[in-house]
Amino acid sequence: MRACVLWILYLCVCCSGSKDDKIEQVPESSLDTYTWMGSLEDECLLSMLSIPGTHDSGAKGSILGMANAQDLTLEEQLGLGVRCFDIRLKDAKEGLEIQHGIVSFGLSFENDVLPVFRRYLEKYPTETLVVSLKDENCKNTEVYVDEVWRVLNSDAMRPFVVEDFKANLTLGECRGKILFLHRYNLRKERYVGGEFAPGGWKNSATFETKIWGNGDRIATCVVEDEYESYALKDSQKKVDAVMANVRQARTSADTDWYITFVSATKGLTATPEAFADKVNQPVADAIGALGKGKCGFVLMDYAGKTEGRQLVQAVINSNFKVSK
């Protein structure tokens, strides 16, 4: 209980007040951000693409500033060009809700989050979404298991899901659909999407793991998630860790999957926003300097700020056949 109280005080102290900042909207006329995947060939391997994403995608609007990781709604992120989402869920009175640490954001997975994704794909069927799902401190993990299973197998969702994972999934196989990647082992006879190897996700590290589909469908996945390894004054070390993973992706096997988190936090003053202000622009510049090539999935905080927008665009522009 004492730790919980201290954590709440910690979040309050770090409240940035950024939720009141005016967010510049992405005009819908900018179809390059709304439908940028439409200029890529169906035969492109998903693992060979450069796809911008957001860390703790639904963590926006809390009065506890340290809990916030984003300044845009899910709809706004989609309009900006984000196609990979980090969704963390906790059991609630009804179903599952978006959670970050001990803070709930009151967004229902079934009734708020997934309808946003479905509506977008209905309107822009050239696109595909990759959604990582994680149990975030559920009181009852069986509720999480059962709810995820029920919702993703519902009549509303079945037309929109990639049924099974394989290392060589193509964009054409995934257009208009969502590839779910589970960070928690559902332990079901058949699950929708792919699953990270149990125990394979390391804490605040760069590591290699596996993504499993059904049967012998397995892919190597390299993850950089050094989210609390550096002080804010050492933010360049985080940039270096990010770019090391991106550069490794450039020389990797076509069917190896790469996930890179640009996000970080450390101590009382190094909030997610403070770190984003330090690292997003240098990473955008470094990716831009690399030219065309595979980056994998690049997830960031505060995608709506100027530096975040630059990073989203830099990742999109890394793809070989995206027309400007």
**pTM score, two decimals?**
0.89
Contact 286, 239 (CB under 8 A): yes
Q: What is the mean pLDDT of the chain?
A: 88
In Å, what is the CA distance from 218 to each residue of 87, 131, 184, 233, 274?
Answer: 23, 18, 16, 39, 37
Q: Which domains does the chain have, with CATH numbers?
A: 29-317 (3.20.20.190)
Question: How many helices and strands (H and E) does the chain possess?
Answer: 9, 11
**154-181, pLDDT tens digit by residue?**
999 999 999 999 999 999 999 999 999 9
Q: Distance between CA 194 and CA 181 in Å, rounded?
A: 5
**73-126, pLDDT tens digit by residue?**
999 999 999 999 999 999 888 899 998 887 788 899 999 999 999 999 999 999
Q: Distance between CA 152 and CA 10 in Å, rounded?
A: 36
